[in-house]
A and B are shown apart, each in its own frame.
Chain A
Amino acid sequence: MPAEERETVAWPADGYVAVVKQDCPTCRLVEPVLAGLPGLTVFTQDDPAFPEGVADRRDDTDLDASLALGIETVPTLVRFAGGVEQGRVVGWSRAQWAELTGVAGLGEGLPEYRPGCGSRTQDPDVAEEILVRTRGGSLRARRLEIAALEDEAEALFDRGFTDGLPVVAPTPARVLRMLEGTSRKPDEAVAVVPPNLAEATVEKVAINAVLAGCRPEYLPVVLAAVEAACTDEFNAHGLLATTWGAGPAIVVNGPIRAEIGMNWAGNALGQGNRANSTIGRALQLVIRNVGGGRPQEVDRAALGHPGKVGFCFAEDEEGSPFEPLAQSRGVPPGRSAVTVFAAEGPRGLADQISRTPESLARSLAQGLRSVCHWKLPGGFDASLVLSPEHGRTFREAGWDRARLHWELDELLLLDRAEITRGAGGIEEGVPARASDRPVPKFRPGGYMIMYAGGGAGMFSAVIGGWAGGPGGSAPVTREVDPWR
């Protein structure tokens, strides 16, 4: 029953209130004490006929009084004067009951002390119902009724809420539990989500986090990712609408990586870790379900890639030869942050021979050069995920991230003769020009270097992006902590 339709529970302004349940041995033990206590109102949580002999005995099987009184243990005896609580005793203690009531010799023949039992409000089987009853009024999203004979998972497919994989039904209780992951209010605006430019509230993001399979503690990361993705610089609308196949990816930095159990080690870019898999998925479901961005509608990708279901991983900050990516992008040390970037699927890049940073950098540059097209410079951004066995070579040589960027920039100056239209027998390329100056493969700041992966394997990965800069998409970093 919605909260506004329930009667307000009340009890006499002066006297005693006890909350009990028949199922509790200590409550049964004090039954004769309750029967003899003047000015007592008893709320009973399970059997309305219990305890016997009490004049003012009230049915609290709906637990309204127990919740209003904040009962965690039964029996609890509370004294009121003028409607204000004067004190309470939890469980049975002859001395404490006597002190609270001022009645000497209570419970003759009973033991001196017996601990109470858990209140029914604490039972897992009623916790969900209580959560919805007490806090469900804060939810604003339209409620959908699913018929008793409908399969829940099938119903969510039929209504178009999924990315093609099953989703977790966003019941009010699950959404409320998800909202416990943030201190932000459910109706607070997070972002305006393209392509339909619909406002995403904290509640709407939480609903999609439930659909994606997130735990509540992931929610601040999802909120930060939605905030970052729905900026003009990231241009989620363009990334969605382009016929190119990239989608949004998220790399996470800072303490929250470990707090929520993210993976930055073996198979960091792959499957198997709940946080990695569901955070990226939640962002894509927000774009689908709030923004209205659906494949073959406004999502015009000719091919797309499997990571468009969700692509999220953490950086290995502890093992990295470089400062964390977020720090290199202006986030203070010790803070958690997400960086969203346009991403194709990762492509492995093997070099199992190079022992010098110069040789390895040349290999990495070759891989980066293949992004978009080997002959095309300047247009597309990219990311390089450096693995531990490749990172070792740069650490031992004392190269930091800036040095590697500098070296790669030099190696990624393309010879005009190689990239002109028709060169190499390939019509694609840049128009012929009088100048023979080399052309940079990437715009300034057009590729990021990250560090993750398992300890064995001299394989890094190149992740192609999309058109960078104005009109395209630039990576965007946002702090997670404001969303906690």
Chain B
Amino acid sequence: MHDFAALEGRGVIAAFLASTQFVVAAAAQAKALGYREVPSVFVPHPIQDRTDAEMRALADAALEEVLAAVTRR
């Protein structure tokens, strides 16, 4: 979330991306940084034990949402 804030501060369009286990952590950190809402995409958990092919599938599945998150205003 700090990365999101840093990128946004430099005028770089950004979105927050994590797995669903981090919804609460993202909300707590976003609130602490003063955001009411951060464009966020949460992919299904787990992540750590996924193969490269499974990770690519997760990324592909999230692509539309990510594009929407960085273009929606």
Which residues in A have some Cβ–Cβ distance to B below 8 Å? 195-197, 237, 241, 292, 294, 296-298, 300
Contact = CB atoms under 8 A, between A and B. Distances in A.
B8 to A, nearest CB: 15
A297 B25 CA distance: 5
A43 to B, nearest CB: 52
B29 A298 contact: yes
Nearest to B33: A196
A298 B21 CA distance: 11
Given A195-B32, A292-B32, A297-B24, 13 more contacts: A195-B2, A196-B29, A196-B32, A197-B2, A237-B2, A292-B28, A294-B28, A297-B28, A297-B29, A298-B25, A298-B28, A300-B21, A300-B25
Interface in B5-56: 21-22, 24-25, 28-29, 32-33
Contacts of A195: 2, 29, 32
B9 to A, nearest CB: 13
Nearest to B32: A196
A296 B27 CA distance: 11
B3 to A, nearest CB: 11
Nearest to A198: B32
Contacts of B22: 300
Contacts of A296: 24
A375 B22 CA distance: 28
Contacts of A300: 21-22, 25
A195 B22 CA distance: 15
Interface residues of B, number: 9
Query: Which 9 pairs of residues, A with B, have the shortest CB-CB distance?
Result: A297-B28, A196-B32, A298-B25, A292-B32, A298-B29, A298-B28, A300-B25, A195-B29, A297-B25
A102 to B, nearest CB: 70
A252 to B, nearest CB: 31
A294 B29 CA distance: 11
A72 B22 CA distance: 60
21 contacts: A195-B2, A195-B29, A195-B32, A196-B29, A196-B33, A197-B2, A237-B2, A241-B25, A292-B28, A292-B32, A294-B28, A296-B24, A297-B24, A297-B28, A297-B29, A298-B25, A298-B28, A298-B29, A300-B21, A300-B22, A300-B25
A395 B33 CA distance: 53
A241 B32 CA distance: 14
A241 B26 CA distance: 11
A481 B43 CA distance: 49
Contacts of A237: 2
Contacts of B33: 196
A263 B25 CA distance: 37
A30 to B, nearest CB: 64
Contacts of A292: 28, 32
A230 to B, nearest CB: 14
Contacts of B2: 195, 197, 237
A218 to B, nearest CB: 29
Contacts of A297: 24-25, 28-29
A292 B22 CA distance: 16
Nearest to A241: B25
A238 to B, nearest CB: 11
Of the listed residues A197, A296, A297, A300, the one surrounded by the most CB atoms of chain B closer than 10 A to its CB is: A297
A242 to B, nearest CB: 11
Contacts of A294: 28
Contacts of A196: 29, 32-33
A159 B28 CA distance: 17
B44 to A, nearest CB: 16
A294 B24 CA distance: 11
A300 B22 CA distance: 8
A198 to B, nearest CB: 8
Nearest to A302: B21
A428 B22 CA distance: 24
A14 to B, nearest CB: 61
Contacts of B32: 195-196, 292
B34 to A, nearest CB: 10
